[in-house]
A and B are shown apart, each in its own frame.
Chain A
């Protein structure tokens, strides 16, 4: 089997993995590294449950990304947003706005929202909705999620980023 040895960073940890050429980043995270905070929802890039952030602010679907293409890249998952046991501003807002029901889409939603706010700290409601179109939630009807993103947008972390 054709394998590749890849050096990359996951949640600030430098890692080396040897993976088959066809292995997706989702499989590497969940099966090889046992980081199960990134979820499998469809495997076809439609639901966004596997959204992770690459190189600081770009969101990607881990189910459509081959690990072999990740050499030298830096991956952040929902767990990686927690610093010193403290939730990120987006995570805090998801909790306080009750934007979580079954929670299966939540890590992906949080990553997508974080990536949006890093690029655009003050998005309009329409921009938030547009950005989240690739992330399906079957529980909340999106309303609380939109409010959480708006709330996080006005938090210190993103106000500073906007300056």
Chain B
């Protein structure tokens, strides 16, 4: 029998019933009396242009149009949607040099989809008709689409505060010599007997959360700004909107609606500023802004594309003596996450293998593409595509099995994790590799696939990854939580953690029930309300189970401490003589002396008088447990993916056959939800490896901002998948758990690329690995497959 009552059980998700009947309310589902509709008019014709003239007169004449907001009609304050500056200490933020470079509406277009003005009208349809009547005269400016073009001497400069369009490089003094790593990699490289070096391209993948961004905002008659948003960081949005509109936080309220997928797309702000500006212009009237899919695509953030150079040196026995790397990211038209991603991209590299020395440099460049930002994995997918292919290339040269090499040289418990100086608290990567290899039949398949003939070639590949459980110590990891007992002994957990579909509320509910020793039904989660909830940084960095869970456990401890103290008074016994079971506290050696939790809670609220003595019963006061939890740990998980696929060398087409996903999870608190994360992460990872990229033409205009032209994996595209969790509890995680959310996306990328390498003996250095690239690579290699 399990030692736990609800941990490790597949309880129904808290929100399953309302979602399966369509009754869950997303922002776009909100209808209010007297509600008006807003539309953000965007520049779709140019990626870089000045607005010479904005003529709204014809649009204003259209019946049903109420107001049109131009750049001069709204606050001139600038902002950065990413919220990174709020999450780092002020001194660190100053060193990172983040820019607040976004405007509510602009007369200077820095990417296709930039916002020009905002229409308020009686219906969405009238908004659309009015938008067609707005005349904008543009002066087209030269366009840059790549980091190479950005540094060209003749390139237009997008922000005068950043020379040569370099938005970011790892800054001194935090990163001596603008690099991250250890040892002297350049000198160590001289000792190498085998050196490999290459430059890779990583792709601009789109989160494609199923719910297009939508909001309702109302500046109510009390002068409070209300915003109904599906953001994944409601508290940071609360702070950001308060700063932008110069209102105290007490006059801003975020109502987090059901979130139709996050994946990083909703970190910080998206289109809340424009929606709120419209609401501020119409006091009392709720305004709904529903973005179209094609608009969401070009105007909101994506994964960072970029060029990734890597050089590695080895001894002939496989000892990795040095690694040097440089990631040049494409941050697009605005700064957003320009400082965060080039750091973590190198951090995941630093966390993976015991190189003799490592030197990583990361930079980010302004271009006229849609801004890049946060996307599940946050730099890790880019590193996985490059690092894991480089390791397999080295293993081929060294004639070492890539599985065995990883088993020997991957980091483990006690080694520095992605944050150098912080050791891994646990690591089950060797077990992941061992069980994964058995499940995919690694040895047999590698032997078998080495002697293939014919035009269709099978390949099996492996890749490993490390990630994190929260961003401590780099970024603020604070969650405030209270747990109040109702007078019937049921509990209300008040916490600002963000359920973005991953099931945060359910797993936190399980943790609370388990830690309190209450049934699930006796615990209710109060979330998504910035008036009620205290600080929580939001859903990012795979933190919610780990950090939110530990905050809840701390608050549960506070509740139980109070219950035991009061029980000790009522039962006339010491606290250490007491035990709790079935919501009843009893004296261990005399269980007939006991009191129900409900009685203690009731007595605290009502203070009933004992009719015999006339004295109040129990201790006064409603019980509330509090935790303001600052997380110091980040217990990173590891994982290994194995992919078995077939390449048709005549068409370049790749067919996935089998995949094994292994994960060092510590403890799967809700196994079915954890498996859901693994399968879902793989859907993104396989897409990044094989099909997904937002393409732009040379004018910086998007070529595939729709599900028609952007291919993500459907139900028939997914390979047969086996999931293996290695459950060895981590000493810090709640009930031993480590994260699973982002991590699941990462190693399917490298494993797929390595399986292609195993099939063809050729590596494709540009993601995604499309049939065209496969055919081109085969042609260039001169190899014949028949």
Q: Which of B24, B124, B707 contacts A103 (CB 8 A)?
A: B24
> Chain A 55-88 against B: per-residue CB contact (8 Å), 1 yes, 0 no?
0000000000000000000000111011000010
What A residues does B15 contact at CB under 8 A? 100, 103
- Distance to closest chain A CB from B713 (angstroms): 8
Interface contact B707-A133, CB-CB below 8 Å: no
Interface contact A104-B715, CB-CB below 8 Å: no
Interface contact B714-A133, CB-CB below 8 Å: yes
Cβ of A115 under 8 Å from chain B: no
Interface contact B721-A46, CB-CB below 8 Å: no
Cβ of A5 under 8 Å from chain B: no
Interface contact B21-A104, CB-CB below 8 Å: no
Interface contact A110-B20, CB-CB below 8 Å: yes
Cβ of A123 under 8 Å from chain B: no
Most chain B CB within 10 A, of A97, A100, A103, A145, is at A103
Cβ of A136 under 8 Å from chain B: yes
Interface contact B680-A140, CB-CB below 8 Å: yes
Interface contact B715-A129, CB-CB below 8 Å: yes
Most chain B CB within 10 A, of A31, A102, A130, is at A102
Cβ of A15 under 8 Å from chain B: no
* A72 to B410 Cα, complex, angstroms: 66
**Interface 9-residue window, one of B180-188, B207-215, B300-308, B569-577:** B207-215
Interface contact A104-B676, CB-CB below 8 Å: no
What B residues does A105 contact at CB under 8 A? 210
Q: List 13 A-B contacts (CB under 8 A).
A: A82-B21, A98-B16, A100-B13, A101-B503, A102-B258, A103-B15, A106-B20, A107-B22, A136-B208, A139-B261, A141-B678, A141-B713, A145-B715
Chain B, range 664-690, C-beta contacts under 8 Å to A = 670, 672-673, 675-676, 678-684
Most chain A CB within 10 A, of B19, B209, B670, is at B19
- Distance to closest chain B CB from A107 (angstroms): 4
Interface contact A79-B679, CB-CB below 8 Å: no
Cβ of A132 under 8 Å from chain B: yes
Cβ of B78 under 8 Å from chain A: no
* A100 to B177 Cα, complex, angstroms: 48
Q: A136-B714, A138-B210 are in contact. Are A46 and B707 (CB under 8 A)?
A: yes
Interface contact B17-A144, CB-CB below 8 Å: no
What A residues does B670 contact at CB under 8 A? 98
> Chain B 341-358 against A: per-residue CB contact (8 Å), 1 yes, 0 no?
000000000000000000
A-B interface pairs (CB < 8 A), number: 185
Interface contact B708-A44, CB-CB below 8 Å: yes
* A21 to B673 Cα, complex, angstroms: 44
**Interface 9-residue window, one of B25-33, B131-139, B363-371, B470-478:** B25-33
Interface contact A102-B706, CB-CB below 8 Å: no
Cβ of B582 under 8 Å from chain A: no
**Nearest A residue to B679, CB-CB:** A141
What B residues does A37 contact at CB under 8 A? 21-23
Interface contact A95-B17, CB-CB below 8 Å: yes
What A residues does B681 contact at CB under 8 A? 141
Cβ of B414 under 8 Å from chain A: no
Interface size on B, residues (CB 8 A): 61
What A residues does B256 contact at CB under 8 A? none
* A110 to B16 Cα, complex, angstroms: 13
* A31 to B31 Cα, complex, angstroms: 9
Q: Which of B22, B263, B673, B715 contacts A138 (CB 8 A)?
A: B263
Cβ of A18 under 8 Å from chain B: no
Interface contact B293-A138, CB-CB below 8 Å: no
Cβ of A49 under 8 Å from chain B: yes
Q: A78-B21, A138-B210 are in contact. Are A143 and B721 (CB under 8 A)?
A: yes
- Distance to closest chain B CB from A126 (angstroms): 8
Q: Which of A47, A81, A141 contacts B680 (CB 8 A)?
A: A141
What B residues does A158 contact at CB under 8 A? none
Q: A91-B21, A141-B680, A142-B679 are in contact. Are A47 and B210 (CB under 8 A)?
A: yes
* A123 to B271 Cα, complex, angstroms: 43
Interface contact B679-A128, CB-CB below 8 Å: no
Q: Which of B672, B682, B684, B713 contacts A97 (CB 8 A)?
A: B672
Interface contact A44-B293, CB-CB below 8 Å: yes
Chain B, range 384-398, C-beta contacts under 8 Å to A = none
Q: Which of A34, A44, A100 contacts B20 (CB 8 A)?
A: A100
**Nearest B residue to A143, CB-CB:** B679
What A residues does B712 contact at CB under 8 A? 136, 138
Cβ of B501 under 8 Å from chain A: yes
Q: A138-B209, A139-B680 are in contact. Are A101 and B263 (CB under 8 A)?
A: no
Q: Which of B211, B293, B714 contacts A102 (CB 8 A)?
A: B211
Q: Which of A31, A100, A126 contacts B19 (CB 8 A)?
A: A100
Interface contact A41-B21, CB-CB below 8 Å: no
Cβ of B556 under 8 Å from chain A: no
Interface contact A98-B13, CB-CB below 8 Å: yes
> Chain B 494-535 against A: per-residue CB contact (8 Å), 1 yes, 0 no?
000000111100000000000000000000000000000000
What B residues does A77 contact at CB under 8 A? 22
What A residues does B23 contact at CB under 8 A? 37, 79
Q: A42-B293, A43-B292, A46-B706 are in contact. Are A98 and B24 (CB under 8 A)?
A: no
What A residues does B25 contact at CB under 8 A? 36
* A145 to B500 Cα, complex, angstroms: 19
Q: A42-B293, A44-B293, A140-B676 are in contact. Are A130 and B716 (CB under 8 A)?
A: yes
**Nearest A residue to B499, CB-CB:** A102
